[in-house]
Structure 1
Amino acid sequence: MRILSIQSSVAYGHVGNSAATFPLQRLGHDVWPVNTVHFSNHTGYGRWRGPILDPADVREVIAGIDDRGVLGTVDAVLTGYQGSPGVAEVVLDTVAQVRALNPAASYCCDPVLGDVGRGFFVLPGIPAMMRDQVVPTANIITPNIFELAFLAGDGAVPPEGRQPELAGFADVSSLDDVLAAVEKVRATGPGTVLVTSVESANAAGVGDDEIGMLAVDDSGAHLVRTPRLPLSLNGLGDMTAALFLAHLPDGIEGALGRVASSVFAVMTATAAAGSREIRLIDAQEQIAHPAGEFVVEKIA
């Protein structure tokens, strides 16, 4: 596939395009990275340097690609963290432009908004725009459980830092609730949903020492569970969305199993290295040739 990836980028480490590009290339895909920021390192370190690109500059890069007459050859658009409503508007315009040139092109959106325990960590205006405009435009979305609960909620946009139980988010306290939330979001537009963080609090079948991923499309719902590792890493979600997009043409069940194997291999390599940065290079063989050791269960 030719994949236009509009995301953040860092010089040191792996988040955004710096986490998505190499795995996609290792799997044989042609990636065209368009950066929305160019930082020295990810913001989890507390200090970083480098520019946030103006939406007009991002739009200029897209226009330059179009000048080459190749935008219509894009098979998929991939996006992650959208730093401002202006960047989100550029994304929407770009997706529309690509689809006008190639109606078969798909759009995979990782709707980065926040996380359990942290609340929202995006600028005001982004959550509502993501829910009301960006997600309905996507073919594929890859939310974590916090983001799913918001996207399927009652429409309220809570203050920064509020948690789902205080903010009118959708109930995701059981697997049936999670499935209902997924179907509510699917009804708005995206036919395929990958929930990247199903925990024991969300599904009785997921143990306290496990983490689950749930993938749903018209063929049904599939769950995979992997051992939980004591790591909190930046960039895993960016890599997960990229891998899911790459493997999805082979079917959702196989894609879920391969993604789970590759993500677990990267986490294992990262833990072994004692690194704060995901070890993409160390685990590249497991990215290119996932072992498929985890059982994918069809649950609906």
Structure 2
Amino acid sequence: MAYGHVGLRAMVPALERLGHDVVALPTVVLSSHAAYPHVAGTLVDPATLERMAAALDANGWLSSVDMVITGYLPTEAHVSVAAGLVQRIRKLSPAMRYICDPVLGDDPKGLYLPLETANPLRDELLPLADIATPNAFELAWLSNRPVSSIQTAISTARTLRPPLVLATSIPAANDHLATLLVGPTSAHATSSPQRAKAPSGTGDLLTALLAGHLASGKTPPDALAHASAWLEQCLDVSTGSHDLNLAPLYASPPSPLVLLTA
């Protein structure tokens, strides 16, 4: 992404701010995200990604990876490359945790990947994950269940294969949206007023902040509380913009949000 903070352009700064070295493999190269009227770019050929992964492995860099995050995968071939890379790294680093951000669509636009890509993402890639980070639309699509409240989101999240699910943009009372962290026997939440316009990349940033705090040793609930606080600060200074303002990442860390037990 040449302009704006979406995908890797949101995730890498957040992870590095939290003290982590990042190996970043792009699946697309774009002038900006799709909220702008003029967008140019190209897909990164899956064969190129395979060669890049092989070179990273040959240099000995994959064996030290302790967390993998996948995001936008535009074709079935990209899904296959991602699944193969996750399995390769897991063999080299068995303690590695894998976070799957199933970038499939959102409300009200719906699904924006073809079924030829979305189905293998659900059936082949998602089951490899330790953590999934769907929004409300993606959670409903992956499970084939409606998601209309915190309680339906919790029950639906527990039908997915990953043992931990971070579900975002969940409808809550009083025109709020909840972010839920759902495990097999517990669920924690943050809640904030629904914004008239949210910038692109918020899910990418939250996923990266959660991953960074987990990699730093925080428990999942603590990671959610700290990640959500930083996200809210970034959203506060991004009001009215198509793009996230990441300036708060370079200031002192905010106090963690108070979690609700759902």
TM-score normalised to structure 1 length: 0.83
Match of 1:207 among 174, 178, 192: 174
Residue equivalent to 2:170: 198
The AA in structure 2 aligned to 1:290 is P
Give the alignment partner of residue 198 of structure 2, picking from 232, 245, 248: 232
What SS does the corresponding residue of 1:178 show, helix, strand or coil? helix
Distance 2:185 2:20 in 1: 26
The alpha-carbon deviation at position 175 of structure 1 amounts to 2.9
Structure 2 match to 1:162: none
For residue 137 of structure 1, report the CA deviation from its aligned partner.
0.7
Q: Structure 2 vs 1, CA of residues 221 and 77 (structure 1 numbering), >3 Å: closer, same or farther?
A: same
- The secondary structure found in structure 1 opposite 2:38 is coil
CA shift at 1:237, angstroms? 0.9
Q: CA RMSD in A?
A: 1.5
Q: Which residue of 1 aligns with 2:258?
A: 295
Q: CA deviation at 1:290?
A: 2.6
> Alignment length, in residue pairs?
260
**Corresponding letter in the other structure for 1:132:** D
Task: State the one-letter code of the partner of 2:146.
Answer: D
Alignment correspondent of 2:242: 276
Name 1:261's counterpart in structure 2.
Answer: 229
Q: 1:263 Cα shift?
A: 1.0
Q: Measure the CA separation in 1 of the matches of 2:35 and 2:49.
A: 24
Give the aligned residue type for 2:51. Answer: E
1:123 CA drift (Å): 2.7
Equivalent-residue separation in structure 2 for 1:84 and 1:100 (angstroms): 25
Letter in 2 for 1:291: S
User: Whole-Å Cα distance in 2 between the matches of residues 107 and 118 of structure 1?
Assistant: 28
1:93-150 CA-partner distances (Å, limit 9, x unpaired): 0000000111101111110111121110113312211211111111111000111111
> What does residue range 1-300 of structure 1 map to in structure 2 within 5 Å?
10-153=1-144, 170-185=145-160, 188=161, 190-200=162-172, 206-208=173-175, 210-218=176-184, 220-248=186-214, 249-271=217-239, 274-280=240-246, 282-285=247-250, 289-292=253-256, 294-299=257-262
The one-letter code matched in structure 2 to 1:54 is D
Supply the AA of the counterpart residue of 2:200: N
* More off after superposition, 114-123 vs 210-219: 210-219
Question: TM-score normalized by structure 2?
Answer: 0.94
Query: Which segments of 5 or more consecutive residues in structure 1 lack a partner in the other structure?
Result: 1-9, 154-169, 201-205
Contact 2:126 2:132 in 1 (8 A): yes
* 1:219 Cα deviation from its structure 2 partner: 5.4
Task: Determine the structure 2 residue equivalent to 1:156.
Answer: none
In 2, Cα distance between equivalents of 1:178 and 1:228: 17
Residues in 1 aligned to 2:107 and 2:238: alpha-carbon distance in whole angstroms: 23
Residue by residue, what CA displacement relative to the aligned partner does 1:198-256 show, whole Å, maximum 9, x if unpaired? 113xxxxx321x22100012451001112322223211111111111112341121111
Letter in 2 for 1:26: R
Query: Which deviations, in whole Å up to 9, do the C-alpha atoms of 1:12-59 show, x marking residues without a partner?
Result: 111111110001101101111111111111122132122211100111
Distance 1:32 1:260 in 2: 24
